[in-house]
Structure 1
Amino acid sequence: MKDPIVSVAWLQKNIQDPELIILDTFIDMPSEDHQIKGARTFDIKNNFSDTNNPLPNTIPDPEAFATACRALGINNNSKIVVYDTKGIYSSPRAWWLFKVMGHEKVWVLDGGLPEWLNEGHPTEKREPQSYSIGNFTANFQPQLVKTKEQILENIDAKEALLVDARSTDRFHGETEEPRVGLRSGHIPGSINIPFTQLLKDGKYLPKEELKKILQPQDKPLLFTCGSGVTACIDLIAYELISDNPKAIYDGSWTEWGQDLNLPFEK
């Protein structure tokens, strides 16, 4: 399957596949204590980010990522479906992390846990579990990640289009940033497509509607947001309608907004 997302119906149909692993992904522990039956806990902030980096939720070292995956019983041949409790929020970040680490067989569950519940499928209480150690290995794909130096260079080069997934008022600097110590505004030359515009009822809009909002581009696409999480929502939306090369600016506005040497606009 080329599409980065799968439906609840697809997951239900394929749930007995012995190579399938379902990951309940989150940034902060959700209030819900139930999960899709058989799911495994994918804690982005604590287990799948670089916790030594002062920036939040940044990409981990490939070997650390691989070790954490093996602890979840993930193998190189695993087919991975990631979901979250909000519909679409943290799961695109988990999808992107697997892509960066060279694992192709990964999909986002469109609608996540809410859609699974709406369709009446079984859940279970989230409990601590252990698994047979997997054989997952990471094959890091550096072209999928951008640094602030590369973003700065692109301001003048204009080789790629930078898409900011934050809300419009944050993009235009009309409101204070939620993180203390950050300037308000955006990276020069970037365009604003708030991730909320691409979703309805916790699912991605149909492709035809996405095309009208996103207006397919002929350049490589770069994505930013507050801390590199919701940027992945925008990236997947573009992935649904275009084959352009795509990458995430992992430091995003948390890094850019606190560096007074970097240019910004309001």
Structure 2
Amino acid sequence: MTSPLMSTTELAARMNDPDLRIVDGSWHLDGRDARADFEAARIPGAVFFDLDAISDHTSDLPHMLPTAAAFAEAAGALGIAKTDTIVVYDSLGLFSAARVWWTFWVMGANRVLVLDGGLPAWRDEGRPVESGPRAAPPPATFHATFDSDAVADVPTVMAALTGDAQVVDARPAARFAGQTPEPRPGLRAGHMPGAISLPMKAVLDDTGRLKRGEALTETFQHAGVDLERPIVTTCGSGVTAAVLSLALAELGSDSRLYDGSWAEWGARSDTPVQTD
């Protein structure tokens, strides 16, 4: 089993590799300008992946996957080829980087990894950062091949809720239970009937890094997830669900991610909702 994580030590040792591409995948739920953060401090050589810009602009749902052609154009403009070693990080440690990792993986990247500990770990170790506007990198050709089996939609989730798979929800427990309102207006509160609550932070350790080994396995098992059965991950808008998908990949388990997540499910009138 190959881990989807790369350590800061390994990244530092490989900074001069010609096929290494470092990607800042920061995105903030509170609307803070992640690109401004990127220009203030980034790992040397990194490019900025804008989750909202590199998305399906024909959808009214947030940061849905773009088409393979649109993604290929965007990744190529960032100087990234499908065969590169792509290392994604974010400024929080582990949050939106997982969504960018998943997006590259869905689009056929041969080797895409998440930096363990992200930018906070890199900086805590006294490693170099750079700042200022980033010059455009030399363009590349990214031959995108969309993996539809990695993506779930409403019919997929409906079938999962009847027993085809387990639906695991990464939102905070209070949102899952319908005890607090959704951050996006117009959405019903609650969860999909039969879904399992596993808040994203539960798969992180006290330092904000992804748990490993038995500790990670026990986290899923304690929530009631059977790692031998098919799993669909979901959340508010498909970002923290990717953290669960990353955790499952670390354990060697496949999953499908519901791209529309609660932004879609909670807004529809034909999807069942349960509150606790």
Q: TM-score, normalised by structure 1?
A: 0.95
The 8 Å contact of residues 65 and 103 in structure 2, kept in 1 or not, is answered as: yes
**Contact 1:112/1:202, CA 8 A, preserved across alignment:** no
1:11 partnered with 2:11: yes
Match of 1:242 among 249, 252, 265: 252
**Counterpart check, 1:264 vs 2:235:** no
The C-alpha deviation readout for 1:148-182, integer Å capped at 9, x for no partner, is: 121112222x1211100000000010111111111
Partner Cα separation in structure 2 for residue 212 and residue 154 of structure 1 = 23
Q: Decide which moves more: 231-240 or 80-89.
A: 231-240
Matching residue of 2:60: 54
Q: What secondary structure is seen at the aligned counterpart in 1 of 2:114?
A: strand
| 1:173 counterpart residue number | 178
CA-based RMSD of the aligned residues comes to: 1.3
Identity across matched positions, percent: 39
Superposition pairs for residues 104-253 of structure 1, below 5 Å?
A: 104-156=110-162, 158-200=163-205, 201-215=207-221, 216-243=226-253, 245-253=254-262
Mapped partners of 2:212, 2:143: distance in 1: 34
Whether the 8 Å contact between 1:110 and 1:202 is mirrored in structure 2 is: no
Within 1, Cα distance between the matches of 2:169 and 2:44?
35
SS in 1 for 2:11: helix
Q: Secondary structure at the match of 1:36?
A: coil
The offset of 1:206, in angstroms, is 2.6
The unaligned stretches of length 5 or more in structure 1 are: none
The CA distance in 1 between the partners of 2:235 and 2:171, in whole Å, is 5
CA deviation string 1:51-85 (max 9, x = no partner): 23100011011100000011011123211000000
Supply the distance in 2 between the matched residues of 1:173 and 1:121 (Cα, whole angstroms).
43
Alpha-carbon distance in structure 2 between the residues aligned to 1:42 and 1:126? 16
- 3-state DSSP of counterpart to 1:222: strand
Q: Deviations over 1:5-56 (max 9, x none)?
A: 111111111111110000011225335311001111111111x211231000
Unpaired segments of 5 or more residues in structure 2?
none
Paired residue type of 2:45: G
Q: Which structure is higher in strand share?
A: 1
Report what 2:72 is aligned to.
66
For these two proteins, the number of residue pairs brought into alignment is 263
Amino acid at match of 1:95: W
Equivalents in 2 of 1:60, 1:185: separation in Å?
Answer: 28
Calculate the TM-score normalised by the size of structure 2. Answer: 0.92
1:180-222 deviation per Cα after TM superposition (whole angstroms, max 9, x unaligned): 1111000111101000111132211232211111125211111
Q: How far apart are residue 3 of structure 1 and its match?
A: 0.7
Distance 1:154 1:195 in 2: 20
Q: Please, which of 80, 85, 89 is the counterpart of residue 91 of structure 2?
A: 85
Within the candidate set 264, 268, 276, 1:255 is matched to 264
